[in-house]
Amino acid sequence: MILVNLLLVAIAPHAYAKRNLVLMISDGFGPTSETMARSFMQDIGTESHEPWSSILDSMLTGSVRTQSSNSLVTDSAAGATAFACGLKTHNGAIAVDTNGTPCGTILEAAKNAGYATGLVTTSRITHATPASFAAHVVDRDMEDLIAMHMISKNATRHTKVDLMFGGGMCRFLPQSNDNSCRNDDVDVWQAAKDSGVTTLTRRSEFDLLSQTNQSMLPLIGLFAHSHMAYTIDRDSTSQPSLSEMTQTALNLLDDTSDKGFFLMVEGARIDMAGHDNDPAAHVHDIIEYWRTVQKVHQFVHSNPDTLVVSTSDHETGGLALGIDPEYTWHPRVLNQVTKSAEQVCSYLFRTQKQDVAEVIEDHVFPKYLGIDNHTQAELDVVVDALQVKGGDGRHKACKHAIGGIVSKRARVGWSTGGHTGADVGLYAYGNQMHKIKGNMENSHLGTLLMQYLDVSPSQVTKALANTATRQLAFFHSPHHDHD
């Protein structure tokens, strides 16, 4: 009897220990993206070819298969739903199954079980990946409804997401507001305030969070009208970085619940740079993602009951390092670039038509792209792209023209402006990391994460039976890179 009691005492602290899970999603980041950024860091830091490793290299445990229920090439909605619900669904679906029925997510199940919850992203908070953990709609473009879902309360009348950081303020404002992109007059921002949510929009307000504690929760901070800026373009006085938002989220969530917390962190703009075939923006957002992983890695050292898992929903761009016939690529070309293709094109669209060629030659090439020996062909391809009819088509053509010039000089290739069906890396560190290994389906990873937190989505799924999953008025977009 004494022996039994001693054993119970010995295992009790572990059995009831606080448990944290940080799921990190590097959207659109494939194995070649890791190689690209690693080579970039090695090349700009040394004249030799000495080995250099990222924080992710030390955490590699396997790979993840990415196909959705209806395609060998997934989109972010189906990919994130696999992680969130532990099941396969069709492209475009946000936390609903193939029949359009809501599926309980790991975030919702964790909240119901007493965990604190958080979402951090550099996209709109209503974009496919973060939405798939806290909303349920049949089409990812139903972002007006997604915003309402994300501030809703669970069955115990608690706000389901304790902390949200990202962009997308326009989806929370009524269409009567000049800064709104909603299709109705619902003021979701005011509704959040009325339900007791602390709201932030300024960098200065964000900085004050480091001087406070968890009493600020529930909390939502949106720091951009739509998506947050690429790392290469970010104004640090107006927008926090992904690593800064994540560090603050860890600090605020850590003392919120004795049970622990679930936090999803997304490096969203890695994917968008891939859609643009913009290698410089791509590599800088990867490096910022690494900084974020390092912050979480350090947190695990101080909090050993924490597991961090990093993976991607899919690969974007079909990235290749080396273009036939040369067996080489040139990372330093990317180091000369100071603006994303997105920012360059926005600048050119504001330029008087008669001045465009001169501005490209005298300003864009030397100051933004680091090119002092441009060719006539390079000038022509940008000028021609600016003549494409249709706003969306012109923007895409311009970004691909700018990205294409840099890519060709760096000897970087792209097979598509969309997603590919490649497997993606699986990385883990911390508590029970030995269970996160091998090659697996994305939906199986979702199941493993729920098992780690010892939560089940079944009760949440039942409670969601009458949830509205369709938005009456919305625009379905055939493209999901930046819209």
Cβ within 8 Å of residue 119, ≥6 positions away: 107, 125, 130, 133, 134, 161, 163, 164, 165, 166, 263, 264, 266
Cβ contact 165:221 at 8 Å = yes
Q: Which helix (H) or strand (E) holds 438?
A: strand 438-441
Could you give phi then psi for residue 440, rounded to 5 degrees?
-145, 160
Please name which of 383, 373, 322, 380 lies closest in space to residue 351, comparing C-alpha atoms.
383
Q: How far, in Å, CA of 17 to CA of 257, rounded?
A: 12
Q: How far, in Å, CA of 407 to CA of 389, rounded?
A: 25
Cα angle 413, 414, 415; round to 5: 125
Cβ contact 120:249 at 8 Å = yes
Q: Point out which residues pair with 307 in neighbouring strands.
A: 21, 430
Q: How far, in Å, CA of 122 to CA of 224, rounded?
A: 9
Q: Point out which residues pair with 263 in neighbouring strands.
A: 22, 118
Alpha helices in 255-390 (DSSP H): 269-275, 279-302, 331-335, 341-349, 356-359, 376-385
Q: Which of 68, 76, 257, 312 is catalytic?
A: 76
Q: Point out which residues pair with 94 in neighbouring strands.
A: 137
Q: How far, in Å, CA of 319 to CA of 418, rounded?
A: 11
Active site residue 312: no
Extract the tokens encoding 296: 């979480």
Q: How far, in Å, CA of 226 to CA of 482, rounded?
A: 9
- Catalytic amino acids? 76
